[in-house]
Amino acid sequence: MNEAPALIADIGGTHIRFALIRPGADPADAVTLRCGDYSGPAEAARGYLATVRPDETVTRAAFAVASPILGDEITLTNSAWRFSIAGLRDELGLERLDVVNDFTAVALSVPRLAATDLIKLGGDAPMADRPIGVLGPGTGLGVSALVPVAGGGWQPLTTEGGHVTMAATDDDEAAVLDWLRRRHGHVSAERVVSGQGLVNLYEALNGVSGRKGIYNSPDMITRRAFEDGCPLCRRAVDMFFAMTGAMAGNLALTLGALGGIYVAGGILPRMVDAFVASAFRERFEDKGRFRSYLAPIPTWLVIHPHPAFAGLAGLATGKE
C-alpha cells in the first residue's frame, strides 16, 4: 500500500497553488485556486482535497506564504487572509504543518533543481560548501539564501531583503530614483525590481521627461517594449534588468555567495532571451574593486515552472 501523500501549497496574494507529494516522486494533482473564492487557507485546502483525493487522509503538509513569519499568526502581505499556524493544523487534522516564507521555499528548491531547470548567466563553476543566494522579482522581490551546515545539508535564511534601499549606479537611475523618492519616500529594491516596480520605472522615466505614461501593467509595458518598439517601455525594461543585476551583486557580496546566485520569480522566465542579452551580468559584476571577486561567481535563471513546490516537497516528506 502506498504511503499517504503530503499536501503542499504556495499561498500568494491572488492565488493559492496546491499539490500532493510522496517521497521520491514529483508533485501531483497540482491545482491553482483563487484566494478570493475562499475565506481562508483551511477552506481552500478542504475544497482542493475534496476534489482530487476525497477518500484519502492527509496528515502532513508544508505551506509557503508571501509574508514574514514572526510567530504563529500569519498575515499575508498582499491578501486579506490571516491565520494561525496551529489553528490551521488543527482545522485540517494534520499531525505536522510546516509554514515557511515563499522565497525560503524557493531557496530550498535549489539543491533539487535539474540542469534543465536552469539557464547559466555567466561566471565559473560554483564553489562547494559555500553560501548560495536566491532572489527573484514577482508580485514583490523575494530574497533568501542557503548556508551550508556541518555534516552536510543546508540551512535556509528567511529574509526581507527585498526591502533594502535601492541605490543608483548611473545618472539615469539617480534621476528615476529621485522622482520615485519624491512620490513614495523610501525607495526599496522591491519598489523597482518587481511587477509593480516595472510600472514604477516606466512612470518615473516618463515623469523625468515631463510626460505622463499611458501604460499601467507590467505585461503591457513588456509587450510594448518588445513588440511595438516603445522607447520608454524598452528603457524601463532594460533598467529593470540592470537593477536586478545590481541587487544580485549586492546579495553575492553580502553573503559571500561563492556557491552562486539563482534568480527566480514569475517575471523573468517570460523574457528569457531579452534577459540573457541584457546588462544583468555586467551590472552584477560592476562593483569597482570587487569586480574580480564577483566575476567567477556563477549566476543562473531558474526556469522551473514552480520551484517553491520543489522546496516544499522536501519539507513535507522530511527529505529536505
pLDDT for the residue numbered 2: 58
What's the start-to-end Cα distance of the chain, in Å?
24
pLDDT for the residue numbered 25: 85
Buried b (16+ CB within 10 A) or exposed e, 129-144: ebbbbbbbbbbbbbbb
pLDDT for the residue numbered 228: 83
Q: How far is CA 176 from the centre of its chain?
A: 24
User: May I ask the CATH architecture of the domain 114-303?
Assistant: 3-Layer(aba) Sandwich (3.40)
pTM confidence score = 0.92
For the chain, domain boundaries: 6-107+307-317, 114-303
DSSP assignment of the chain: -PPPPEEEEEE-SSEEEEEEE-TTS--EEEEEEEGGGSSSHHHHHHHHHHHH-TT----EEEEEESS---SSEEE-TTSS-EEEHHHHHHHTT-SEEEEEEHHHHHHHHGGG--GGGEEE-S--PPPTTS-EEEEEESSSEEEEEEEE-TTS-EEEEE--GGGSBP--SSHHHHHHHHHHHHHHSS-BSTTTSSHHHHHHHHHHHHHHTT------SHHHHHHHHHTS--HHHHHHHHHHHHHHHHHHHHHHHHHT-TT-EEE-SSSGGGGHHHHHTSSHHHHHH--GGGHHHHTTS-EEEE--S-HHHHHHHHHHHT--
Place of cell 524601463: 236
pLDDT for the residue numbered 1: 42
Dihedral Cα 258, 152, 5, 28, nearest 10 deg: 30
pLDDT along the chain (320 residues), means of 10: 82 89 88 92 95 88 91 85 95 94 93 95 96 94 95 91 96 98 97 96 96 93 92 97 98 98 95 97 98 98 93 80
Of the candidates 217, 251, 305, the residue with the CA atom closest to the CA atom of residue 30: 305
What is the homologous superfamily of the domain 6-107+307-317 according to CATH?
ATPase, nucleotide binding domain (3.30.420.40)
